[in-house]
Structure 1
Amino acid sequence: MTAGIDTPDRRGRTGLDQHGRDLTGNPRVRIKDVEVLSCDWYVLRRTTFDYQHSDGHWSREQRETYDRGDGATILLYDAGRRTVLLTRQFRLPAYVNGHRDGMLLETAAGLLDGDSPEEAIRREAEEETGHTVGAAERVFAVYMSPGSVTERVHFFAAPYSAATSTTAGGGIAAEGEDITTVEVPFAQALTMIREGGIADAKTIMLLQWAALDGPFRPND
């Protein structure tokens, strides 16, 4: 008996080895086997498949995929004051891969956890920044690391002000979160991208969207 396959794992899941077996959208891909390598919290799978190359020949391939669910992120901005509201928190993967202290400046973000993207990002914005978001503008949805991670992130933007500040924020302490908010002038945020002070991909994408097509785009 294996947890996550025929008995529940610690999140109550079974049948995790069935995910991806029935894919039929690409006739050049034939799924042969799916193995669960780990399901401690998220799920690491190894998939074996046959792939037809552009010259017609087939090869047997294996890939590992990390499934942590989909997520959402939001840029909070004040167009009148030309500021953005970011979060700062410790990120162990960045720390072990060369970031000086692992404390990253980011847009508020989190996993969907069964909610719609819009519901999830309103929840995360309030938990992390203390601001209650009204109508959020949907920007785009992208795969952040398609070579190994299944996650698709939904990007949003919304205004903030003193009036939208309703709670203390800071994240969920019971989940180990220790988040501070940082208000940054938009021009300074762009400079920080160039100088490496902002090194988080989703944050850079939203800031560049804001400069090109969003609230801080040049006047026509």
Structure 2
Amino acid sequence: MTAEILTIRFVHEGWSRFGIAQVRLADGAVVEREFEDHGNSVGVLPYDPERRVATLVRELRVPPLFAAGEQVQLEAPAGLIDDGTPEENVRREALEEVGLRLTALEFIGATYSCASLTTEKIHLYLASYRRSDRAEAGGGAAGEHENIRVVEMPLAELAGLADRAEITDLKTLTLVLALRARHPELFRA
């Protein structure tokens, strides 16, 4: 026997939908499981290989504020997939959030951000850029109240944050580790 969803009841529908699924497990037991659904997303770590820096954002995230009083998160630019391909969306998000016009994208993978809670699958990319790729100031889409602060930091500093377990955003940590694994020469003195 395989697991199957018997019913779904949504208890909230807004930017996200929160549901309760009645599921028959493979062993025949029937249980309820809660989940959140808001669509799939993209994330990118833009880096300048010549200057050995990466561009990230600092912004308020309510769950870390609620859970730990954290005022801002250091994150790779990211956002929901609207219309179009993940690649089109990641380029749009990079332009909106950090003002970079990205061309070449290096696909890292598409993974569930938290499979026990959300349906979101995040498509992750690395993207090299040059100073000449800065097209705008960034800061987020008008009217979304994101209050994004653009941060360009040395890759060595970013690696140090990862080594000291000071990156608390999973997609960002994943992207930093992927950059170190795929392009170790960027981190050599």
**Normalising by the residue count of structure 2, what TM-score does the alignment of the two structures yield?**
0.93
Match of 2:93 among 112, 116, 124: 124
Match of 1:51 among 25, 31, 34: 25
The structure whose RCO (Cα within 8 Å, separation 6+) is larger is 2
Alignment of 1:84 onto 2:54: yes
1:151 Cα deviation from its structure 2 partner: 0.3
- Find the residue that maps to 2:143 and give its secondary structure: helix
Where does residue 128 of structure 2 map in the other structure? 159
Match of 2:65 among 95, 101, 107: 95
For these two proteins, the number of residue pairs brought into alignment is 188
Contact kept, 8 Å, 1:130 with 1:168, in 2: the verdict is: yes
Q: Residue 194 and residue 98 in structure 1: after superposition, are their counterparts in 2 closer, same or farther (change >3 A)?
A: farther
1:198 Cα deviation from its structure 2 partner: 2.2
1:36 Cα deviation from its structure 2 partner: 1.1
Where does residue 17 of structure 1 map in the other structure? none
Q: Distance between the aligned counterparts of 2:4 and 2:63, measured in 1?
A: 33
Q: Residue type matched to 2:118 in 1?
A: V
Q: Distance between the aligned counterparts of 1:217 and 1:59, measured in 2?
A: 51
Q: Residue 167 and residue 215 in structure 1: after superposition, are their counterparts in 2 closer, same or farther (change >3 A)?
A: farther
Where does residue 62 of structure 1 map in the other structure? 32
Q: Distance between the aligned counterparts of 1:157 and 1:71, measured in 2?
A: 15
Indicate the RMSD between aligned Cα atoms, in angstroms. Answer: 1.7
Alignment of 1:41 onto 2:15: yes
* Amino-acid identity (%): 31
Q: Residue type matched to 2:125 in 1?
A: F
Q: Residue type matched to 1:94 in 2?
A: P
Contact kept, 8 Å, 1:69 with 1:111, in 2: the verdict is: yes
Where does residue 6 of structure 2 map in the other structure? 32
Q: Distance between the aligned counterparts of 1:213 and 1:135, measured in 2?
A: 15
Q: Residue type matched to 2:81 in 1?
A: L
